[in-house]
């Protein structure tokens, strides 16, 4: 098949990277890595290209990093497309963005399926147009039995509204007697979040030099190692990703203990 030849999982990874991959795989890799993908607009602007060229380039990086994460045995990769221009975006860009998932899945879903990748989404799906949601639901359906990397897209996701929604549902459950106020603890609370079936992220990567969490997984990242890079998302490659994993493996993780 065309994509098999073009995207054969080994051939698309440079030699130098393969050696670093083996070294990383010889130690404990983080189970759950989250990435705030930032910098598409700036990347395009610095090349006098339209912003959507940055998003298009960013999509290719989504594929590259997903395949690498799957190859080194990461369980869950959560991708959050952050952009401060969310509300300032021109309509043409929003329309393009809502078509991007369909384009991404048309091109890469066969390869993701071939790599045993499972696609899921978290966030308020209601605000995603139905044509976009349709292709996403199909991708979720077609990959639901895969047990390789869980590729989790955060779409229209905001951590504070997720927490408020959890509180409202807990109050509802107390009122109708499903749970008792004194039973509430961190584990019970976590079950009311959109990430209830996911482990907390072990490592959070953010590109483009911004050093902020931007309302992303605030509860879940209580003990998450944070790794920031000035690199803009479209320029982010396997080397940068392995830099973050290698640094994570060097840091001794303390979970608040000594
Ligand atoms: C299963 C998966 C393929 O489907 C979806 C994935 C996301 C969304 C939500 N979405 C697009 C619509 C919106 N909310 O603007 C974003 O989060 C958003 C905002 N900017 N960019 C550009 C960008 C592209 C690449 C990297 C960063 C930003 C994206 C974005 C994010 C990741 C990927 S991967 C294929 C397309 C795409 C588009 C809906 C469905």
Q: What is the structure's pLDDT at 13?
A: 76
Q: Is the CB of 108 under 6 A from ligand 1?
A: no
Q: How far is the CA of 156 from the centre of ligand 1 (A)?
A: 9
Q: Is the CB of 153 under 6 A from ligand 1?
A: yes
Q: What is the pLDDT of residues 153-171, one digit of tens each?
A: 998 899 999 999 999 999 9
Which of the four pLDDT bands, split at 50, 70 and 90, describes residue 3?
Answer: low
The structure tokens listed for 146 are: 């895969």
pLDDT at 258 over 70: no
Mutate which of 38, 58, 101 for ligand 1? The one with the most ligand atoms within 8 Å of its CB, which is 101
Number of residues in the chain: 258
Sequence-separated contacts (24+) of 88-97 with Cβ below 8 Å:
92/52, 93/51, 93/52, 93/55, 96/52, 96/55, 97/52, 97/55
Average the pLDDT over each of 57-61, 114-118, 124-128, 144-148 and give the range with the smallest value.
Answer: 124-128
Query: Cα separation of 37 and 232, whole Å?
Result: 8
C-alpha separations of 158 from 76, 88, 211 in Å:
19, 18, 17
Q: What is the pLDDT of residues 37-68, one digit of tens each?
A: 999 999 999 999 999 999 999 999 999 999 99
**Average pLDDT score over the chain:** 92
Count Cβ atoms within 10 A of the Cβ of residue 74 and give its class: 0-12 exposed, 13-18 middle, 19 or more buried: buried
What ipTM does the predicted assembly reach? 0.94
The structure tokens listed for 191 are: 């079950």
- Mean pLDDT calculated for residue range 179-187: 97
**132 closest CA partner among 99, 90, 173, 104:** 99
212 annotated as ligand-binding: yes
Ligand 1, atom 8: nearest CA belongs to which residue? 155
pLDDT at 184 over 90: yes
- Mean pLDDT calculated for residue range 25-47: 97
131 annotated as ligand-binding: no
Query: Cα separation of 166 and 164, whole Å?
Result: 5
Ligand 1, atom 27: nearest CA belongs to which residue? 81
- Mean pLDDT calculated for residue range 125-135: 89
54 annotated as ligand-binding: no
In ligand 1, the atom with minimum distance to the C-alpha of 94 is 15
Query: Cα separation of 114 and 110, whole Å?
Result: 6
Average the pLDDT over each of 36-50, 70-84, 97-111 and give the range with the smallest value.
Answer: 70-84
User: Could you tell me how far CA 236 lies from the centroid of its own chain?
Assistant: 14
Per the CB < 8 A criterion, the answer to whether 209 and 42 are in contact is no
Write out the catalytic residue numbers. Answer: 38, 86
pTM equals 0.93
How do beta strands 118-122 and 76-81 pair?
A: unpaired
Which of the four pLDDT bands, split at 50, 70 and 90, describes residue 17?
Answer: very high
Angle between helices 51-71 and 15-25 (to 10 degrees): 50
């Amino acid at each position: 098949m065309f994509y098999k030849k073009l995207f054969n999982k080994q051939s698309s990874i440079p030699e130098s990277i393969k050696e670093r991959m083996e070294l990383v795989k010889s130690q404990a890799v983080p189970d759950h890595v989250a990435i705030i993908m930032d910098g598409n607009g700036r990347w395009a602007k610095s090349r006098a290209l339209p912003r959507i060229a940055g998003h298009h380039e960013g999509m290719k990086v989504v594929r590259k990093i997903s395949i690498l994460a799957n190859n080194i045995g990461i369980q869950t990769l959560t991708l959050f497309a952050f952009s401060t221009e969310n509300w300032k975006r021109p309509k043409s860009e929003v329309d393009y963005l809502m078509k991007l998932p369909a384009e991404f899945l048309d091109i890469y879903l066969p390869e993701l399926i071939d790599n045993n990748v499972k696609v899921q989404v978290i966030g308020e799906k209601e605000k995603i147009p139905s044509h976009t949601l349709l292709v996403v639901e199909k991708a979720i359906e077609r990959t639901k039995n895969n047990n390789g990397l869980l590729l989790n897209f955060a779409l229209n996701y905001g951590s504070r509204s997720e927490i408020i929604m959890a509180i409202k549902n807990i109050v509802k459950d107390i009122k109708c007697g499903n749970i008792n106020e004194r039973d509430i603890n961190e584990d019970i609370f976590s079950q009311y979040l959109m990430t209830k079936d996911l482990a907390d992220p072990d490592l959070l990567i953010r590109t483009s030099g911004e050093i902020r969490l931007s309302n992303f997984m605030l509860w879940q990242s209580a003990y998450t190692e944070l790794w920031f890079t000035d690199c803009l998302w479209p320029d982010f490659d396997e080397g940068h990703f392995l830099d973050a994993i290698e640094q994570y493996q060097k840091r001794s993780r303390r979970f608040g203990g000594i």
